[in-house]
Structure 1
Amino acid sequence: MKTTTEQRQHWMSVLAKAPPETLLGLSEDAIKDIHFDIIRAPEVGLTQVRARMGNRGERFNLGDMTLTRCVVRSSLNTVGHSYIAGRDKTHALRAAQLDALLQDPQMGEVLMERVVQPIESMLADARASKQRETDATRVDFFTLVRGED
């Protein structure tokens, strides 16, 4: 089964947002027997962030953010890429390694089950918890209609 662009975008997003310790812990056993050639070593750089007011209107330059990228080739002859917000080179390397392995049909299924899905579930739980905290502080305003004087 060939992976689609949407599937790859999804798992790359999950890997990029994963807490580094969790990502390394869940994936250590899966990659220990695989050899990787580093095509582009993890390197830190800047990218410009653009935004819109209220998600409408003209785009403007919001500012710069640090980004770490990496490219590797696995012994399965797949190439993995990663782009991680921040300066964590270990995180970027592991995400690129996992991207390469997830493209292999046999390894991909195992890694989706053992690494990507648990991290995805953890991230969803964290989002839900943050949403509950936010909802607890919500104030609903209403206006009473006054009659004619």
Structure 2
Amino acid sequence: MPIAPMPSPTPTPDGGETPETAARRAAMALCSTATREELQAALDGLGPLGPVEELRPTETGLVMARGRIGGDGRSFNLGEMTVTRAAIRLPAGEAGFAYHLGRDRAKARLAAILDALWQRPDHREAVEAALAPLATRRAAEAEAEARRIAATRVNFFTMARGED
């Protein structure tokens, strides 16, 4: 069964997203690059949750990846990708959602639980603190990638231009 896209966040009157939506998006971006073990460790550090209700069973499906030639040309179907989604509800009523590339249902469920916990104002700082090691790892990986790219960068310039 194909996976339906997540609804777009509510924009601000000027068309941008709210600071809360941007912060939630950043937290979920950290979850998307985390391993299942990292998500489990973050969740374990938050203490007991109580029963978590599944809004729909965690499922795996395919989505079509689209591309553009040169980044701005006509779009084309690049191919299908496997995606797993989870939707849960906490006992207090917050609903959490997560989509992940691949087939790891446990990882998607853990990310959905963290998403729901993040939405609780009294848990938000604790969730962000639990995700801080992921942010540190992600920043270190980005820095290492930038160093690898900078090592192969070639700067072309002309010192003097001759007249023919």
Listed as ranges, the matches of 1:1-149 within 5 Å are 4-115=20-131, 117-142=132-157, 145-148=161-164
Cα offset, 1:145, TM superposition: 3.7
Runs of 5+ consecutive residues of structure 2 not aligned to the other structure: 1-17
For residues 93-122 of structure 1, give each alpha carbon's deviation from its aligned partner in whole angstroms, at most 9, with x where no partner exists. Answer: 10001111110001111111222x321221
The alpha-carbon distance between structure 1 residues 3 and 42, as it changes in their structure 2 partners (threshold 3 A), is farther
- Deviation of 1:131 (Å): 1.4
Give the secondary-structure state (helix, strand or coil) at the position aligned to 1:54: helix
CA RMSD of aligned residues (A): 2.0
Percent identity of equivalent pairs: 33
Give the conservation status (yes or no) of the 8 Å contact 2:89–2:96: yes
Q: Distance in 1 between matches of 2:105 and 2:47?
A: 17
Aligned residues: 146
CA distance in 1, matches of 2:111, 2:19: 17
Deviates more, 1:78-87 or 1:23-32: 23-32
Q: Is the 8 A contact 1:3 1:103 kept in 2?
A: no
Report 1 or 2 for greater relative contact order, CA contacts < 8 Å, sequence distance ≥ 6.
1
- The range that moved more, 46-55 or 2-11, is 2-11
Q: Which amino acid aligns with 1:86?
A: G
